[in-house]
Chains A and B, each alone.
Chain A
Amino acid sequence: MRIGVYLCQAGIGDVDAVNLHSIASYAANLPSVEVVRDLGLLPKVEPDAFAAEIRAESLDRLVIAGDTPGFFKPAFTRAMALAGEDPKEVRLASFNAFGASSGNGTARAKSVLACAALGVPFPLAAVPDTTAVRPGTLIVGGGISGIQAALEIADAGKQVHLVERTGTIGGHMAMFDKTFPTLDCAACILTPKMVSVGQHEMIDLMTYSEVAHISGSPGDYTIKVRKKARRVDVSACVACNVCADVCPQRVTSEFDNGIAERKAAYIPFPQAVPNAYLIDAESCTYVQSDGAKCGVCAKKCPKECIDLDQADEIVELEVGNIILATGYDVYDATKIERYNYGTLPNVLTALEFERLTNASGPTGGKIITKTKRVSKKRGEEWVFDVDEGVPPKSVAIIHCVGSRDANHNAYCSRVCCMYSLKFAHLVTEKLPGAKCYEFYIDMRAFGKGYEEFANRIKAEGTFVIRGRTAKVFAQDGQMMIRGEDIISDRLVDFPVDMVLLSVGLIPAHGSADLATMLGLATDDDGWFSELDYNASPTETERGGVFVAGACQAPKDIPDTVAQAAAVAAGVLKSIATGRGLNSRADLALSDIERRATSLVRI
């Protein structure tokens, strides 16, 4: 066999992570490799020229190294066919697809290349040994993915420790009124699951907690969890609201995404699990004054369950597997100045609208515009006032805010088209007289029933305009929107009362710290890297560490639930057999080479 290795830097991502010189000389020393060529950053691959080279060197296998996801494979395949060789012998060695962007990038790239040259799929050769596995599982993040995985594992009788950093589980789904495309009531699906998690004897739920330290090795991890002082005894609190009633401190509510306020003594929302209040130390007068002032809630609490002097606590856990289910945050809309989010009061982000339209939200689900309120203490502010607020006569929804945009995030956030359509439905349903416009670039209705859902929304009378809006601005006190309607080939420029920004998804804040703690790779956008996009989308380079839900990549609820269940299956398998995989990240180049060579011999 005579092999030609072609190095292309397209798609190498972090070029500094790999040493191309060292890779090229490694390739040259591999058995049967006759030609090694560096094609540089942006090669022009002419099949004819390469066919000539293949013939001249009588190559019968080509390795395209570095190219992710395989831009040049078609051209090389054609060259192979032109040269009269077997086109199947064009082997892709995509460094990035197999985690060559992190620490040991060069060694990993070499092993990927070696496997391609030997004609062995990398995942077959790079199989780590197995290790013994402890039965407990840690789940980080209590959104729908964490909840689903926790229930699957706990229902199988295995111990789960679920760590959630806010005061309740539920994640983003708990904020929604309806879910696309079925328009099911989100709470009806989620609340029972949340309650089961809260009551399950195999689930040790730690809300208002964060992972502080992880040590150990696959199958045998030691975790330190910081339980932040909740200052309310969860087991005794009856959620009577007395503390919140008497608390003098008001701050914006995170759960309501800033469109309403809560007290320093609060419960994120009435159906929260655990169904108990907590004290927000940062806004609490007592805590901030070192106990000098206030403290009224503790005095008034009928159950005497408030301990304002409680301190954080560190809990140590020993687990075999870790599931990351940290979900997402949304893109900061203030970064896109032309939409004037933050300056025009009735420009709302998607999550704000979710709370506005939610029957259990601050307006009881009434879609109204903000009202100006002037007070001495707080100056001028715009708030949702159920009594004074008027319903908007026209609502514009702008897709792809911060997504598919070279100036922001280049990737598609996957759920925004669909939730925008859901919004359009909610607007037309609740405000029959109002006009609703959707400005989109491409309508990505990719799932089962989604295209039908999109058609239904159009039929309901929403104006669906192809063309992303350029600006939202105010003119003589009226909010205006300007865009190009590409299908009817004209500019549109008209007044609207409310603008909804369909903000994209970004990795949850703090997930980079988790990745560092675990030595886990993330992709260029910060999402946790799975082991193999097609073959092992739930595992990671680190043995015994799994990813579920939106923290791996933007995805909707059905996909999230499916992935969470798949993760649970992997975890349960390792517990049932007592063996789990070691880290692929720790595999040495020589190990992979040895295994690949032995696979060829078979």
Chain B
Amino acid sequence: MAIRANPKLIEELETYGAQDVSKCYHCGNCSATCPFSQDPYILPRRSMRSLQMGLERKLEGDLEPWLCYYCGECSQECPRDAEPGETMMSLRRWLTSRYDFTGISKLFYRSWRIELAAILLVAMLTGLGFFLFGLSQGNIHHYDGVNAFLPGEKIHFFDWGLAIVLLVLLLTNCARMWWFTIGRDKSKRVPLTAYIKSAYLLPMHFMTQMRYAKCERKRPWVIHLILMLSYVTMLILIMFFVKRMAAGPAIDWRVHAFGLAATVGLLGTTIFAVRGRIKKTENHYKHSHETDWMFLILLIVVAGTGILQFILHRSGLDMAANITYVVHLMSVVPMLGLEVPFSKWSHLAYRPLAMYFAEIKAEAARAEARASQGVRAPQAA
């Protein structure tokens, strides 16, 4: 098959935040330094090479960017200041936009103004919608009870609706990811057994992020794990235990303890990240894309209004609690609705998937090697 090269690929990637790709002179320092670099997935130099050669299709099918956790050691060691770590980050953004069939992701990453406008628009619509909905339901002075402004069960209904839409979008993107990285390559057949054998990797990587722990410095992994676990806890609480959370006035410690822990986790890690990005404390905080900031700001608003709403409600300030609740929803909906399928948050699916796919592909390659050896062995004898 003819190989097509896109001479403008680096320029394209630059719109996703890549900076100095063409400086690379292929000394291999980065790949040999990278704690994740391991046969057959050697990173990040190969990606630098593919970019310089404009191998768009190959890059689309690469899993390497997802195997990088941006510990930044490669960028530190790079003798050319070619910023391979940042290139990998930009490639993740680029891949996200490739996996996304709607084209929205691409718009967001290439123009933060559009993303911001979309966030604001969705927030406004959400705010307006819930406000009108609230007025049609009850009284703004009541948080719960018969006259509740935003009755819990109905909001919950909405939660599930949103969850299903997001899931469908995300799964389609994941399917596209599979197609690019495994399905499209007809030359390599991956047996079904390989999929089954490694299936455990998916939940394992999702929950522990143990690969991240391979970085020399453990703090980023801990921070990320806390953030992720807090979010998952929150999500589970909201999706399955919201009734008990909202039921007042007594506090149900069985759920609230979790809620509190998750909130502390969320706020703590987010503040850490904001501080880090301002002071550039970690390698992966050195270059901040606008989308990184928007993501963080949304996170803070979501967590902040979530707690505030809870406190206000518990203090009997029902109206204030209702308004905060609307603001909370105004931040939650764009964050989940836009970030999960189209932007930074989608990595929650792509990363574990990539590790799963990587193992499957490697397993398939090993099986192939064994098979071809098996053929050669009798000849040798």
Contact = CB atoms under 8 A, between A and B. Distances in A.
Interface of A: 338, 400, 404-408, 441-442, 466-471, 482-486, 489-491
Given A484-B42, A490-B39, A406 B78 contact: yes
B27 A468 contact: yes
Contact of A441 (B25, B45, B81): B25
26 contacts: A338-B33, A404-B79, A407-B76, A407-B79, A408-B79, A441-B25, A441-B27, A466-B26, A466-B28, A467-B28, A468-B29, A469-B32, A470-B29, A470-B30, A471-B32, A471-B33, A482-B32, A483-B28, A484-B28, A484-B29, A484-B42, A490-B42, A491-B31, A491-B32, A491-B37, A491-B38
A408 B27 CA distance: 15
Give the most central of A404, A466, A470, A491: most B CB within 10 Å: A470
B246 to A, nearest CB: 54
Contacts of B31: 470, 484, 491
Given A484-B32, A491-B39, A470 B45 contact: no
Contacts of A467: 26-28, 32
A405 B28 contact: no
Contact of B77 (A404, A442, A470, A491): A470
A332 to B, nearest CB: 17
B267 to A, nearest CB: 37
Given A490-B39, A491-B38, A491-B39, A406 B80 contact: yes
Interface residues of B, number: 21
Contacts of B29: 468, 470, 484
Contacts of A484: 28-29, 31-32, 37, 42, 45
Interface string B7-47: 00000000000000000011111111100011100100110
Contacts of A468: 27-29, 79
Contact of B32 (A405, A470, A489): A470
Interface in B74-106: 76-81
A491 B33 CA distance: 10
A201 to B, nearest CB: 51
B32 A442 contact: no
A468 B81 CA distance: 15
Contacts, number: 63
A442 B33 contact: no
A470 B33 contact: yes
Interface in B38-66: 38-39, 42, 45-46
Contacts of A469: 32
Nearest to B76: A407
A537 B76 CA distance: 37
B114 to A, nearest CB: 25
Contacts of A490: 39, 42
B28 A470 contact: yes
A304 to B, nearest CB: 57
Nearest to B33: A470
B45 A486 contact: yes
Contacts of A471: 32-33
B79 A405 contact: yes
A486 B38 CA distance: 14
A468 B31 CA distance: 10
B27 A491 contact: no
A486 B29 CA distance: 10
B314 to A, nearest CB: 54
Q: What are the 8 closest A-B residue pairs judged by CB atoms, nearest first? A: A484-B28, A470-B32, A467-B28, A405-B79, A468-B27, A484-B31, A406-B81, A441-B27
Given A471-B33, A491-B42, A486 B28 contact: yes
Interface string B187-225: 000000000000000000000000000000000000000
A340 B102 CA distance: 51
Nearest to B38: A491
